Amino acid sequence: MTFAWRVLFCLFFFTSLCSFASNITLNKDVKQLQNIPFEYIGKPLTLTQAEAATQWQPISNQILNLGMSETVAWIRVSVANQETLELPIMLSVDNPLLDKVSVYQYHNNEIVLFKEIGDALPLKNRQIKNESLLIKLTLPPQSTSTLLLRIENEAGLRAPLSIWQSDEYLKYKSKFNLLYGLLAGFILSLALTCFVLFGFSRKHYFTLSGAVLLTLWFLLIYLYGFGYRYFHPSLPSLQQLAIPSMLLVTCYLFKPLFEQLKSTLKTPLDKVHTWFNRLIFISIFVIWALPTSVIIIYSLLSSLLIMLMHITVIIINIKHKRSQPLSALLVGAIIYCAFLVYINIVVFSIFDFDSRNLPFMFGSFLICALSLSFATIKHFLIERDAQVAAQHAKIAQSEAQDQLLQERLELQEQARLDLEANIEERTFELQVTLRELEEKNRELEQLNMEDPLTQIKNRRYFDKKLIMDLRRSRREQTPLSLIMLDIDHFKLINDNYGHLIGDQTIRAVADIIKSHLKRPLDEVARYGGEEFVVLLPNTQLPGALEIAEKIRVAIMDSIITVANSQITFTISAGVYSAIAEDINNPAFFTDCADKALYHAKQTGRNRVVSFPIVD
């Protein structure tokens, strides 16, 4: 009787999962699904309670965003595989800042997969060592699987879900990483440029601008999970503190940067502005004793408040005295404030915004970084122009007071012009000399790459050319063929006819090989002694074998006449063709071709053998 009740309970649980879960039908033609339909419960249930729960709330074509009201939620999704074979898919939770995501895959009322990932767990826990939250699933053929996800996060619960095929996700991720890398690299380069300019000019606003840009860069890195992945994969707790820190530090640094760029105007808000900024600075070091949720709320709201105050004070100064640096700083502050408003809306779930809105996020960081860089550089140019104008005024006054000084200045100017003319003349002569040296170097390099006997490339050139062709083969995924050729019984020719005839034989072989290479990228080189090597990029094995056979036949038919005696000779060839995989081991290609050549020698000579060798 007890067994019967257990069977009935299992049937009830399985049918409840299948009937209430949101159904998603997949086949091999479905490349991706974003904002998939699902059901959720915003309660901290156990797995057993979630399995038996009936109060599931359906959501379709939306993102689950419970704001700061909940820290734990359960999601249920039903996925049907229409194919007759297993269907591998990837489930993506498109929020890399979630603390913990527990995934249970059910099939036939049994858990077939359980995984836990999140930025509160070490990176090694993830199936795919990636900044995104990805789960690889395998759907049994012609059946329905149910997914239960337990999502936990103290900093607002937002869980955009999507399903991908692996190839399609790689394409998407490649495009994303390209845009993201360009943006992050550009912001970092702007920050480093500001620090370099500070090193040259000793202007502190360059340091402050570089610091703001650097915190923006760190904020961008951590928002998309790259900080967790690359900086501290074994210390996930730092991820919880990094984003609030960057928000507060960025807002704090706007005030000293503004002080460097503003005029001498005093406003009633200056004291309040200063005290608020000091409060932000102090709070950076003391809020870490608070719970994570309180830290998030404080950092978001206080950052938005202080940015609004920054904007107000900047506007007051612009009304008093308009300047391009302050206008650019205002644009950067407004854009950053808009970003904070967007983040607050997403975190507190005020409106239903898509937290994956890349154009807005990327555009905000780009415009803010450009505005800050323009503000500091423009301020530097204005200061420089003012200094130049002041210097010109002093020079004009000195010229009016002392004519003798004017004449001396003219003499100095003439001397400077003469010096510049001499420098230009010497520079021209130096350029001519350098050009001649370059031509000589090219000639020496050409001689260094050619074999003096055969006038074809030598072993040194071949080694470099092989590495370049291996890189091209791996990059373009095209086959690279290599032919090793050796003159049969060459020692007998030297012994019987002398070394001069041996040299003539080597030159004849080189000429015949060159005559059979028609494409510009095909290359022949003397490998050593009576050995030659031919490189054939983008050539399949049959084509390489055909060329090697033609060379063999042509050499077999060639005749060298010496003292009324006709000398005939043959060659053996080894061929290897493949798409390069390891460019750090170029000797692999030559070793394979050499093995084939050795086999040709051992099996009678005057043959063409390919590797791998077929008996």
**Cα–Cα distance measured from residue 96 to residue 355, given in angstroms and rounded to the nearest whole number:** 11
Task: Out of 530, 546, 549, 581, pick the active-site residue.
Answer: 530
Q: Which residues contact 287 (CB under 8 A, 6 or more apart)?
A: 244, 294, 295, 298, 299
Q: How far is CA 598 from the centre of its chain?
A: 44
16 by Cβ neighbours in 10 Å (0-12 / 13-18 / 19+) ranks as middle
| 530 is known as an active-site residue | yes
Distance CA 205, CA 383 (A): 12
d(CA 449, CA 74): 69
Q: How far apart are CA 378 and CA 218, in angstroms?
A: 25
Contact between 47 and 148 (Cβ < 8 Å): yes
In a 10 Å sphere around its CB, with 0-12 CB exposed, 13-18 middle and 19+ buried, how is residue 173 labelled? middle
Half-sphere exposure in the Cβ direction for 360 (13 Å, CA): 14
Type of residue at 61 = N
CA atoms of 614 and 174, how far apart (whole Å)? 41
Handedness of CA 338, 342, 348, 352 (dihedral sign): positive
Burial class (CB in 10 A: 0-12, 13-18, 19+), 354: middle
Q: Which tokens go with 455?
A: 């006038």
Structure tokens at 252: 């704090």
Residues involved in catalysis: 530
